Amino acid sequence: MDPVTGDPAEPFDAIVKASGSEAGFRAEISERLNFSVTVFFLGLDSELIFVGDAGTTEPNESTERIGVEAAIFWRPTAWLVIDATAAKTDAKFKDAPRGADNIPDAHDFVGAFGAIALLENGFVGSLRVRHFGDAALIEDNSVRKDGTTLVNLGLSYPLAKFEFGLEVLNLFDSGGHDIEYFYESRLFNEVQSVENFHFHPVEPREFRLRIKYVF
């Protein structure tokens, strides 16, 4: 049923054909260092796309994704562990004309970085960085969303059967957007619909105290 009009919605196949393949390698340099690189392809006969005007998702045309992903794990010292991942993807509608084949909200690049420090006094510190690159918001790529980078910091200390921790989320108080779309909407006091950005901002800087008991 259409959530706006209440009319019966057009039926569609809930499960569509998908095909994918990947090739890559993994290298174990030592017990403290390994990395991997993978090239992948994914094809979907249909893809669900969010439609802001209706406030729902609808099946769309077939899509193809080609990309490369890399990951590394490194323990340079006994007290420090580092890991990182990154992926670069080219996502397009398969049968759309060139220049109008971008998949809305499909990010070109995503990456993450983490570090854990195991200190001699028992404290454990952690740093996590998450980055989403910019992305097209409409098919012709004339409107794009900005990338976002979030940094989280953590510190914990075990004491007997307890673990006490402090987490700082969004350490640098980033003002980016977790979710963002571009479509027509109209407020109650507006005569005509207007195309504009619609977004959910990232949560502001937060401090969290954590107590864990192991039994």
Residue 41 maps to a domain = no
The domain tally of the chain equals 1
The model's pLDDT over 69-121, given as tens digits with 9 standing for 90+, comes to 999 999 999 999 999 999 999 999 998 899 899 999 999 999 999 999 999 88
Is residue 25 domain-resident? Answer: no
Can you say whether the dihedral through the CA atoms of 202, 200, 68, 41 is positive or negative?
positive
Q: Residue 126 in contact with residue 163, Cβ under 8 Å?
A: no
| CA gap 164, 155 in Å, rounded | 8
For residue 36, is it within any domain? no
Say which DSSP state 94 is in.
Answer: S
The predicted model gives 158-180 an average pLDDT of 93
Q: Cα separation of 169 and 160, whole Å?
A: 27
pLDDT bracket for residue 185 (50, 70, 90): confident
Q: Does residue 9 belong to any structural domain of this protein?
A: no
Q: Is the pLDDT reported for residue 53 higher than 70? A: no
Whether the pLDDT of residue 6 is over 80: the answer is no
Range of the domain at 96: 67-213
Examine the pLDDT at 11 and tell me if it is beyond 80.
no
In a domain, 137, yes or no: yes
Does the residue 144 lie in any domain? yes
The percent of residues above 70 in pLDDT, for the chain, comes to 92
Is residue 104 assigned to a domain? yes
pLDDT, position 170: 97
* Domain presence at residue 84: yes
